[in-house]
Amino acid sequence: MMNHDRPLPFKSAAVLGAGLMGRLLALALARAGCRVDLYEAGSSAAEGAAARVAAAMLAPLAESAIAPPSVARMGHYSMTRWPQLIDSLGQDIFFQREGTLVVWHRQDEPEAMRLARVWSRTSETVPELPALQKLDAEGIRALEPSLAGRFTRALYLPQEGQLGNPALFAAMLAQLQALPNVGLHWHSPRAPGDFTPGAAGQPDRVIDCRGLGAQPQWHGVRGIRGEVVCVHAPEVTLSRPTRLVHPRYPLYIAPKPGKVFVVGATEIESEDLSPASVRSTLELLSALYTVHSGFAEARILEIMVQCRPTLPDNLPAIRLPSPGVLQINGLYRHGFLIAPAMLDAAMQWLRDGQWLLAERLGLAIENRENA
């Protein structure tokens, strides 16, 4: 693990974008004694941040179904960092590591077995991840009694987890507001070209975490539309995130405190931010009902839409477009899973000018000559 107490070789920084990465980096820099100015195009609610519309699941093995081993490695690293980051905020933030349960209906068993093979290969490539476990009906009953009799076979991915993203965002904002060396600039869009790092009266470093807002400067960034339904279901008890193998998309159900469940799956190659379609909503809720009939009486609290910033290879990257400027982008659907790893890799360069952690985890670094 990195030494997070080493001093910084510069005194001031501008952080662009107050989403997940922007807040994490602004806090880390400020706590290291740096003067930080955080610029956000929207309000303090960060309504444009993709991380606000997410289940905030931490599932490195599960996500390896669509991502390479580098994402699994970053996810495994982040699983140990999230408790430290949360503890540093001094507030009650929901966090659990009860694993992921994967279920399927009989007609989808071939796809479930394909996924099992993929996850087994990931465990061989990334041996630090706990291996999946195959469950029969009794195993399902032991883990999730409310699903007993509904499914006869399942896969269990141990130690995967989730956290409460609304409380996390609020806690980070409170910390930033309390720090005397942080300036918060809402409704103040900025781009790297607005600064001359190191010049008189300018920040020493500029860190761009704007996601889709960085498209004019990082032309490969595109948006992937996602739709999430939040429901209150008093008749349903689930102890851990549950995924349903589905012929069109893998449904996930993330149980939150107070019998609230975040349900999602849709991924659409579009930057359209209009409300969710009837078709997408019906498909999500119909699949949800097949997992547990108690969802029939659930109350829909919110249907949310957001676009996730994604690079052409669907992988995250750090870029150094010019001296003193660092850009982070492409977290795609893996934001909470990999953010701590991205944070520590960026901070290692900012402190020491090294990419040791990034290289170990397989994180892409572009334009190193500008370091």
pLDDT at 371: 53
Spatial strand order in the sheet of 12-16 = 182-185, 35-39, 12-16, 205-208, 325-329, 317-322, 364-366
CA gap 178, 183 in Å, rounded: 10
Domains of the chain: 12-52+165-220+313-370 (3.50.50.60), 100-158+222-310 (3.30.9.10)
Low-confidence ranges of the chain (pLDDT < 70): 1-5, 368-371
Burial of 269 (0-12, 13-18, 19+ CB in 10 A): exposed
pLDDT at 332: 96
35 bridge partner residues: 12
Residue 181: alpha-carbon gap to chain centroid: 27
What is the sign of the dihedral through the CA atoms of 45, 327, 67 and 248? positive
pLDDT at 246: 83
- Assigned token pair, 231: 């429901």
70 bridge partner residues: none
140 and 103 in contact (C-beta within 8 Å)?
yes
Q: In degrees rounded to 5, what are phi and psi of residue 317? A: -155, 155
CA gap 127, 362 in Å, rounded: 15
CA gap 288, 309 in Å, rounded: 27
64 and 71 in contact (C-beta within 8 Å)?
yes
| Sequence-ordered strand ranges (E) for 27-111 | 35-39, 57-58, 95-96, 100-103
Question: CA-CA-CA-CA torsion for 280, 54, 132, 239, nearest 10 degrees?
Answer: -90
| 3 state SS for 195-221 | CCCCCCCCCCEEEECCHHHHCCCCCCC
96 bridge partner residues: 162
Predicted structure pTM score: 0.95
Candidates 8, 15, 55, 332; CA nearest to 182 is 15
Give the H or E element holding residue 56.
none
CA gap 320, 299 in Å, rounded: 47
Residue 281: alpha-carbon gap to chain centroid: 22
Q: Which amino acid would we find at residue 315?
A: L
